[in-house]
Amino acid sequence: MPTAKRPAKKTVAAKKTAAAKKTAAAKKTAAAKKTAEPSVDGYFIQQPTDKRVLLEKLRALVVKGVPDATVSIKWGVPVYQRNGRNMCALAAFKDHVAINFFVAPNVLADPGKKLEGGKTNRMLKVRTAAEIDAATISRWVKAAAAAYA
């Protein structure tokens, strides 16, 4: 009666090779997750052309007004931060785009009552390029940044 062969024990080298393969697979998965994370540029690219044009104009005002602000995707939209605090966000909606300032209403002078919102933030809705008052928006961006200086 033939005896059954026992499986050979793994050598130390074989164990190291298996561990290295697992580590490489984990690194690939982590890299895939990083590239799968939404990017700020990706957010703009995926918007319809009419809204993308408006968002790019607002983006340029934010970048020009506060060049040291950092931007990342939060809540699915680009959020600009200064000193680790949310300063403003850009977002596209069905009928408009918006810039949302995360500061108290008294920080932003708004005699024309263009801003909407409550006690902790203010939002400007933009439907056309003509509604982008660069001087006023730049002033609001700088005021929001100064609140977090």
pLDDT, tens only, 76-123: 999 999 999 999 999 999 999 999 999 988 899 998 899 998 888 899
Would you identify the CATH topology of the domain 40-147? Aspartate Aminotransferase, domain 1 (3.90.1150)
Report whether 143 contacts 103 (CB < 8 A).
yes
Q: How far is the C-alpha of 24 from the C-alpha of 28, rounded, in Å?
A: 6
- Residue matched to tokens 């596209």: 92
pLDDT, tens only, 23-68: 555 555 444 444 455 799 999 999 999 999 999 999 999 999 999 9
Residue 128, pLDDT above cutoff 50: yes
Domains of the chain, by residue range, sit at 9-37, 40-147
For range 13-30, the mean pLDDT: 59
Q: How far is the C-alpha of 15 from the C-alpha of 23, rounded, in Å?
A: 12
Q: What is the pTM of this model?
A: 0.73
> Tell me, what amino acid is at 61?
L
